Structure 1
Amino acid sequence: MNRPRSAYLQALEFDNSLPIEPAAVRLWLKDLDNPLRWSVRPLLQFFFAILLHLIWFLKRLPLPQFSAHKTLQSTICWFCRNFVSVEANQLILRHFATESNLLNFLNDNMNTKIEPVDLYPKSIDDMQQATFVDHDQELFRVFRDMGLWQGEQAKQLDWTHWRSIRNEDFELTAKRTQGMDFESAHALFMCLFCLLLTREEYRDAINGFNLDQSIALRIGDLIGEPGLAEMAYNKYPHYLVGPWNLSQRFLMHGFFTEYLYARLEQIRTRTCGPESPRS
């Protein structure tokens, strides 16, 4: 942990070509410093990728379906509270907030007046109510209830339900046992998700990443920046995929929401000032 970072990682500290907040970069670089990421993670990902595909196959068989949302979320929260590093937990909490902001921004500026997304957990315990299942279902609800996209640039941007994200607002207590990096934790969680969701819920969850392109296209229209679509790694939502390459797709989904959040926060700060009414 005391070794100097490589030349490439040092360069990342100063590369702001893509919009991403310095606080998020610091968290990610510290997560990359975690030695478990380079030693344990490859073994975990290999083993659990095989296990995931076995569970996926069994779930596709014509057998009775079951789900256990409360068990799923309580297990994740227990594991995060006791074994996942503080930096990785902050990245998880940030992701809830960044995606909620993007969906609320779309809702506000389409003037659809549907129920805003209210998934902004500040602590691991908050995720017992603001769950990962809710996180997926709110994405699908917003797309369904907003209706068809008209593709128009907004005359004046509406930030009614926008919330600025500050790392110091998250309530996290470090324990000596918390040493697992972000990607290693996801390798453990992905099999649990597949097992404790119905096959339709899990299929929808892993394909929901592909709506990143749709979000980028819509926000790009609103702010007059069509190039935002290039920031979406996960694309083509009409083509349904399975769990292959899930770890990378999940990680790139997290980067995507950070990129778009940072770009919109730059615009909001420039037009409205540094303080958000809901920060």
Structure 2
Amino acid sequence: MLHTREYYDNMVHEPRNPSHWHALFLDKSVPFNADAKAAFLYDSSTRSRQFLYPVAKVLARLAIILMQLFKIVVPNLINAPKTLHKCLYIGMKYFITPEANFLILRHFYLGSEILRFIKDNVDGAEHIPMNPLKPLEVADVQDNIFLEHDLNLYNFIINLNKAVADKKVRIEKKDNPDFSAIGSGEIPFAAFRDKWTNVIDLATAIELFTPAYQFYLTDNDFWRATNSLQLDEVIGIYASTIMDCPEKLTALNNKHPMIPLPTYGAAFRLLLHGFSTEVLHAMLVQAKKAV
């Protein structure tokens, strides 16, 4: 069963034993879709997150370091993105929680809408090519969706700034932003598998998936993918400039995109990347509803 807002809406508050997760769900200081927030908090409260994650984190990061040494010698020996995404699909379908799958698929969907919003609100960017990723079931990840997501981000930033330079236009405040790209309704995902094996939480799954990502890609592809996780600030600045609300960037905190970080920390940065996307999209949804 996918735990959404009703789970926390119906939770009984015990003043002598308050729930950390209940308090965070009720707090509205950071914009966040209610169903996604409930799924994120419930997934974070599981026994997998509490007990399996610390062990997986250590072992996965050790594997990344050892693999990095191996890739120094043979950086391009393995390049099998299709096999990688087949493995990711199997892991997602059979082993991670419905909440984690819900959040992963939402991430691709929301990311595509945010990029389209920026394009729609920059004069002169009308002809930038787009490759929207809007998966509706776990099986859709087999279409190299993780790799395509990274490429979309880089290509968008490059194409957008080339268009800005060539056409002598600016990314600037829009008095009446075009919100047509931003969906505010429920995304019609197919039902997520929820059997006894679907117990691995999102953070643990990301830690375990990262070494697999590194193994099946060339060293350059993995390096590029991990560096893309620091571009949240860039996308956030574009959107907040259009909306004229730079103060809302406080939750988009991957920071310093020009300073590459060690690859062994990529899993945690990926978690922040997903969080930042949810916050930025929720901010745009709020603005759309206020029009």
Tell whether the structures are fold-level matches, with TM greater than 0.5.
yes
- Report the 3-state secondary structure (helix = DSSP H, G, I; strand = E; otherwise coil) of the residue aligned with 1:169: coil
Asked if residue 262 in structure 1 is aligned to residue 282 in structure 2, the reply is: yes
Q: Which residue of 2 aligns with 1:213?
A: 233
Asked if residue 145 in structure 1 is aligned to residue 159 in structure 2, the reply is: yes
Given the alignment, which residue of 25, 32, 44 partners 1:20? 32
1:220-259 alignment, distance < 5 Å: 220-259=240-279
Q: Which residue of 2 aligns with 1:133?
A: 147
Q: What are structure 2's unaligned runs of at least 5 residues?
A: 1-10, 165-169
Q: Which residue of 2 aligns with 1:96?
A: 108
Residue 231 of structure 1 aligns with an amino acid whose one-letter code is A
- Give 1:170 deviation, angstroms: 4.1
**CA offsets 1:216-258 (integer angstroms, 9 cap, x no match):** 1111110010123322221122112221422321111111000
CA distance in 2: counterparts of 1:165 and 1:53, whole angstroms? 42
- Report the 3-state secondary structure (helix = DSSP H, G, I; strand = E; otherwise coil) of the residue aligned with 1:13: helix
**CA offsets 1:37-86 (integer angstroms, 9 cap, x no match):** 11111111111110111112222336544310100001100111111110
Is the contact made by 1:216 and 1:231 (CA closer than 8 Å) also made in structure 2? no
CA distance 1:117–1:6, shift in 2 (3 Å)? farther
- Give 1:270 deviation, angstroms: 2.1
CA distance in 2: counterparts of 1:25 and 1:78, whole angstroms? 25
Residue 80 of structure 1 aligns with an amino acid whose one-letter code is M
CA distance in 2: counterparts of 1:248 and 1:178, whole angstroms? 21
CA distance in 1: counterparts of 2:264 and 2:197, whole angstroms? 31
CA distance in 1: counterparts of 2:77 and 2:278, whole angstroms? 35
- Give 1:117 deviation, angstroms: 3.4
Is the contact made by 1:23 and 1:167 (CA closer than 8 Å) also made in structure 2? no
CA distance 1:224–1:170, shift in 2 (3 Å)? farther
Q: Which residue of 2 aligns with 1:158?
A: 178
1:161-176 alignment, distance < 5 Å: 161-164=181-184, 166=186, 169-176=189-196
Residue 129 of structure 1 aligns with an amino acid whose one-letter code is D
Residue 192 of structure 1 aligns with an amino acid whose one-letter code is A
Under a length normalisation based on structure 1, what TM-score does the superposition of the two structures give? Answer: 0.90
CA distance in 1: counterparts of 2:142 and 2:181, whole angstroms? 23
- Give 1:168 deviation, angstroms: 5.0
CA distance in 2: counterparts of 1:26 and 1:11, whole angstroms? 11
Q: What are structure 1's unaligned runs of at least 5 residues?
A: 272-279
- Give 1:89 deviation, angstroms: 0.5
CA distance in 2: counterparts of 1:133 and 1:97, whole angstroms? 15
Q: Which residue of 1 aligns with 2:135?
A: 121
CA distance in 2: counterparts of 1:14 and 1:223, whole angstroms? 26
Q: Which residue of 1 aligns with 2:198?
A: 178
Under a length normalisation based on structure 2, what TM-score does the superposition of the two structures give? Answer: 0.86
CA distance in 2: counterparts of 1:165 and 1:66, whole angstroms? 41
- Report the 3-state secondary structure (helix = DSSP H, G, I; strand = E; otherwise coil) of the residue aligned with 1:161: coil
Sequence identity, in percent? 26
CA distance in 2: counterparts of 1:11 and 1:205, whole angstroms? 34
Asked if residue 76 in structure 1 is aligned to residue 88 in structure 2, the reply is: yes
Cα RMSD for the two superposed structures:
2.1
Q: Which residue of 2 aligns with 1:44?
A: 56
CA distance 1:59–1:165, shift in 2 (3 Å)? farther
CA distance in 1: counterparts of 2:152 and 2:69, whole angstroms? 27
Aligned residues: 270
